[in-house]
Amino acid sequence: MLDLFDSLKALLQEETARVDNIVFRLHSRATVILLSACAILVTAKQYIGEPISCITDGTIDKDSVNAYCWIYSTFTVSRHLTGIPGISVASPGVGQALEGDEIHHHRYYQWVCFVLVLQALMFYTPRALWGVWERGTVRLLSVNLDNPFYRDEWTKERRNQLVEYFAITNLHTHNFYAFRFLTCEILNFCNAIGQMYLLDVFLEGQFTKYGPAVTAFAIESRPFQRVDPMTRLFPKMTKCTIHTFGASGSPQTRDALCVLPLNVVNEKIFVFIWFWLVFLAAVSGLAVVYRMIVFSQPWARVYLLRATAQLIPRSQAETIVQAFDIGDWFLLHQLSHNINPIVFWELVNELASKFSGKLAKEKVFSRFVKVVDA
């Protein structure tokens, strides 16, 4: 069975450069792997069995009945959902349908695999978009600088190149880089919320309350007095009405009792997806708030810079934050996750020294202008 999941190994491979954060990876890697694995699982007939198996009176070929009921859907009767199996009903939702009874037709199970794949693609889209926008910038700047034996690569020439890149040639040019990352984080948040409503439409308006309903039913002391939300949404046994012709050509109607073994897996998959989407929406919302605070508050950027480049004085961190735009600081912060900590510490010290001289000259010049104007 593990051979079925070999195609997911590519998502588990370590990237050459880390250009996102843990919340981003929960969307683009963990969730994509989860949804892809579920899609593979629900299509693996050799481990779950046929998706539908119907019982009739034997006058119609069984394979034909299975194909007919799979294509044209099966149904349950709401009035029989609270019945006791084996006493008042054959199975929850399976019983005689009278005039005026509420009938639930179940067609969505034909599309579960496709919806799971679509979800996986939607969760990966922001990461793919960020990959296009990022253009390997961090990878190019950090190449070979994550090595413990960094002295072979961290030469004076390489250090001067990085300092010049941040302090001279590309200073104040990275704001779009930072705001594009924020855009992708907002897309992750919107996607997690939107997926809830997408599945709610797909599952006939029953998904948004599915998780709490299953939890409440699980702790119910008298479950037969309430409708099992799993049985309502993913019935394991249903009815199917088949219309045929008799020997004389007159229309005939036959009932079939259909077993849906795939719903044993579906009901648990979608319970987990409900809780997972709620978790993703919560952490993604917090990630967006965190990013906005960092981008809008200089003290937050000073704190994070001192946390990544340990032991640097606060004055040096404030000097860099004052000299850098948001995008410059964000790229430097991205770089800190991909290079040796000692290399990053030395780089920050060099930048602080360079900007300290610049700021001192700017202050002297501004004072001179004030004196002249006076």
Domain with 175, as residue range(s), is 2-50+107-212+263-361
Residue 71 in domain? no
- Decide if 248 is inside a domain: no
pLDDT for position 40: 84
Query: DSSP for 301-346?
Result: HHHHHHHHSTT--HHHHHHHHHHS-HHHHHHHHHHHTTS-HHHHHH
What pLDDT digit, counting tens, does each position of 86-138 carry? 666 777 777 777 777 777 777 777 788 889 999 999 999 999 999 999 999 99
Are 159 and 351 within 8 A, CB to CB? no
Q: What confidence score (pLDDT) does residue 48 get?
A: 61
Give domain status of residue 320, yes or no.
yes
| pLDDT tens per residue, range 205-246 | 888 888 888 888 877 766 555 677 888 888 888 888 887 776
**Does residue 274 form part of some domain?**
yes
Domain assignment present for 141 = yes
User: Is there a domain that residue 126 lies in?
Assistant: yes
Is 85 inside a domain boundary?
no
How is residue 246 annotated by DSSP? -
DSSP one-letter string for 195-207:
HHHHHHHHTTT-S
Q: What is the pLDDT of residues 143-193, one digit of tens each?
A: 888 887 777 788 889 888 999 999 888 888 999 999 999 999 999 999 999
pLDDT in tens, 101-112: 777 777 777 788
Is residue 101, in this structure, part of any structural domain at all? no
Q: What total number of domains does the chain contain?
A: 1
